[in-house]
Structure 1
Amino acid sequence: MDPEGSIGTRRNPIVIAKPMSLEEESDADRVSNILHHAMTIIKDLRPGLDLISLKYKAPPNFNIPKSQLQCFGESVYCWGEDMLEKCNRGGSAMERLVAVVGWSISTTRPLIFGAFPYNPILGETHHVSKGTLNVLLEQVSHYPPVSALHATDEKHNIEMIWCHNLSPKFRGTSVETEICGKRQVKLLNHGETYVMNCPSLVFKFIPTKAFEWSGKVKIQCQESGLAAEISYKGLSFLGRKSNSRSINGKIFSQSLSIKNLCDIDGQWDRSVRLKYQNGNVRTIYNASEVISNLRTPVVLDPKGVRATESAKVWGEVSQGILSKDWKKAKKAKMAVEERQRELAKERESRKESWVPKHFKLSYSKENGWDCYPIQPTVPPAPIVVPI
């Protein structure tokens, strides 16, 4: 079976919505609708329930016009200030770790309360370039949902490999989605690999309404022995915003007796500062420079866009959402999902297992899911972000 033609059609429109940025605002009608819908669902749920098992399909009026794959990709290729290139320029291991911390924070993006991206379908891909950075994502598993990312910049000799497995659980007054898996950033000029995790995404609906990032992130470089720990904190239970979207943490050595080298504090949607032991303070991240006024990717080569591309698979659905033609969006979304069920039945009848096209996938109880790119580098994409 040809995976390129199995989940999409060459006739589908290619629709790319603007990236998520600090300027995003909630839609009041959408918020009201989703709260009403959520309350009808949660009355039958129990705390701790893994929501993946429900296989729930959100109606399109709750969707933003893009896939979760696109949201992951945007955090890498949509930026105003290039935080990734800064990582490579650091003259010392300490400076490079500080830059990686800033870059990691830059991948934390605002979300719209009451709106969700599409759940990627099996085999869906997303391929975009910005300058010399080429980014490729693939949905390598559907149940459980596992997304893989490979990005390379041959000019600056940087490589990224991510493997994400979403695990949403009902917590009584919220839904917490743990983004399991690891991210690797390789600065090949320096022979350094930085391994990190991702904060969790929390959807609160009682007593306050909020989408927020929460939890601890650890960034480690085995080669230098340096590491950072960062805690993301959201709104208080009663919704006080004075410390919302705050970050605090530290950079330390895993080998020296003096472990705490400097402290980190700030807000990921504003600015984050680094305070050294001698009292000096510097800003290592400014959100208004990195995730504001972002440019929307454009299709440079329509013929080169795969049938599996997110912007094509969901193109007709996105058209309906952007035009608020909910009947069209619902019909198109049902067609995508029904096609997936048909393909799954066909594979089952032939006793075939799905094999990802661009990654090898592994799983262990100790380490969870992991992915390995099949190709050493990512080629330039037919979809590009204007510079």
Structure 2
Amino acid sequence: MNIFRGIQARLPSGSSGSTTPNSNGSGADDRPPEGSDPDDTSLLDEKQGSIVLSLISQLRIGMDLSKIAFPTFVLEPRSMLERITDFMTHTEILFGLENESDKAVRFERVLQYYMLGWHIRPKGVKKPYNPTIGEIFRCRYTYTNGTEGFYVAEQVSHHPPVSAYFFLSPANKILVVGELRPKSRFLGNSVQTIMDGENRITLLGTDDGEYIISLPNMFARGILFGKLVFELGDTIDAINEKTGMSGSVEFKTKGFFSGTYNVVKGQVQQDRETIGEISGKWSHHLEYKDLKFGKTRVWFDDATTTSEELSRPTCHPEEHQEPNESRRLWSGVTRGIRAGDQNAAQEAKTIVEDNGRKYARTLDEQGATHNSRFFEFRGGKWHAKFVLPENLEEAKSKVQEWIWADTPVKKAT
């Protein structure tokens, strides 16, 4: 049955289809749900609520949302390819681990680095732009120790959507590669995004091989009733086969009658023996307890972490980017959102999406597939088309030549 009709049938007498979910009122109704973070909640005005209601009327339970065009006011003004860079925000946690002899400490720091990628998020319930096939995002990082890191991501498939990414900091001996395959489903009063994919982290100065970490799922609650709330849920697994280290972290979702938001609980195991415990809130405060020595170390606390401690990406100015680079490609949408002009944002979004569909249709008509520029599919995974030099001192120039080939060198912003 159409969900919208079911809701209308239960509305009080005199209510009409113009009733808007999550409409912006006053007083107690404006407060976020008890125990939630105001940054993870959204209130919609009457016009926005009407648009959401119209969108919901098209949905069915379990429907795949990959082909649904969402209104611009629910969008975060950046592409998913750029949002992945949140995981590079705390890369300095990994610096110097090639000199750490204790494999348990190395594993803990890698897991800390990964977990701290989640607290960087937009206010409210927002989703990034869905990248179009062939879209790329390129940036670099400059660290406090005078070194650099280099990142490139590409939308290698559109249906199903797959984002592949690569990060290298040669001087700090860190390599991160991975892929993201989101699948969104409508569940009635919430939307679930299943985050298939994995992060593969390599400490190049060690013999550890890859640290492989999965992803939690995302939920937007209160689509029909109550306030819109963003949550992470389910369990992620981390493993390093060579060292025998493993771990898991459960992102707990709030129960209907009890519990609280953003809580995590996890453990670290060495050769299947639990040696550490993780606790706290992924959004505000995380701790790690070493069970062997009985010591607790704070991984993250938003009350004491300054913005200067966060590594931010820099890109070439939009006018010097290629047409399919994220910031330039979506620039019209971004300007409209930031100016509060949803009509302009929607028009620009339609142009980007129509061009993407035209390209996909051309490929179908020609019986061809998209030729990825930076990645190739091997052994069931996407790998960068970059051969890492044995001499890491050569890697800095080589990786820049690979990422920015034929691109004029301009001042990054």
Q: TM-score range by the shorter chain?
A: 0.7 to 0.9
SS for the counterpart of 2:171 is coil
User: Do residues 232 (structure 1) and 232 (structure 2) align?
Assistant: no
Q: Which runs of 5+ in 1 are unaligned?
A: 1-21, 365-369
SS at match of 1:95: helix
Structure 1 residue 281 corresponds to structure 2 residue 296: yes
1:171 Cα deviation after fit: 2.0
- The secondary structure found in structure 2 opposite 1:183 is strand
- Using the TM superposition, give the Cα deviation of residue 47 of structure 1 relative to its aligned residue in structure 2, in angstroms: 3.0
**Structure label with greater radius of gyration:** 2
Q: Distance in 2 between matches of 1:51 and 1:219?
A: 29
Distance 2:296 2:312 in 1: 35
Match runs of 1:29-44 below 5 Å: 29=44, 35-43=49-57
Name the count of aligned residue pairs: 350
Q: 1:289 to 1:143 in 2, by over 3 A?
A: farther
- Give the CA deviation at 1:139: 0.4
User: Structure 2 matches for 1:212-291, cutoff 5 A?
Assistant: 212-238=231-257, 243-253=260-270, 255=271, 259-277=273-291, 278-288=293-303
Deviation at 1:181, TM superposition (A): 1.2
Distance in 1 (alpha carbons) for counterparts of 2:38 and 2:89: 14
Structure 2 portions without partners, runs of 5+: 1-36, 143-147, 389-398
Q: Deviation string for 1:23-51 (max 9, x for gaps)?
A: 95766446x65554444444554433322
Aligned positions of 1:1-387 closer than 5 A: 28-29=43-44, 35-43=49-57, 45-52=59-66, 55-73=67-85, 75-79=86-90, 82-85=92-95, 87-88=97-98, 90-108=100-118, 109-131=120-142, 132-192=148-208, 193-205=210-222, 206-238=225-257, 243-253=260-270, 255=271, 259-277=273-291, 278-288=293-303, 292=307, 297-300=313-316, 305-361=321-377, 370-376=381-387, 378-379=399-400
Q: Do the aligned residues in 2 keep the contact of 1:98 with 1:284 (CA within 8 Å)? A: no
Q: Deviations over 1:141-166 (max 9, x none)?
A: 00111000101111011111111100
Conserved 8 A contact 1:297-1:384: no
Give the Cα separation in 2 of the matches to 1:236 and 1:385: 45
CA distance in structure 1 between the partners assigned to 2:185 and 2:245 by the alignment: 33
Higher relative contact order (CA 8 A, sep 6+): 1
Percent identity between the two aligned chains: 21
Q: Deviation string for 1:259-318 (max 9, x for gaps)?
A: 111211111122211223343222233345558465765545666522221001001221
Measure, in 1, the Cα distance between the counterparts of 2:264 and 2:111.
12
Q: Is the 8 A contact 1:77 1:135 kept in 2?
A: no
1:375 maps to amino acid: F
Moved over 6 A (4+): 380-386
TM-score normalised to structure 2 length: 0.76
Q: Is contact 2:43–2:228 with CA below 8 Å preserved after alignment?
A: no
Residue 384 (structure 1) shift: 8.4
For 1:244 and 1:50, the matched residues in 2 are separated by 26
Question: For the Cα contact (< 8 Å) 1:128–1:384, is it kept in 2?
Answer: no
Residue identity opposite 1:63 in structure 2? L
**1:88 & 1:164 partners in 2: Cα distance?**
27
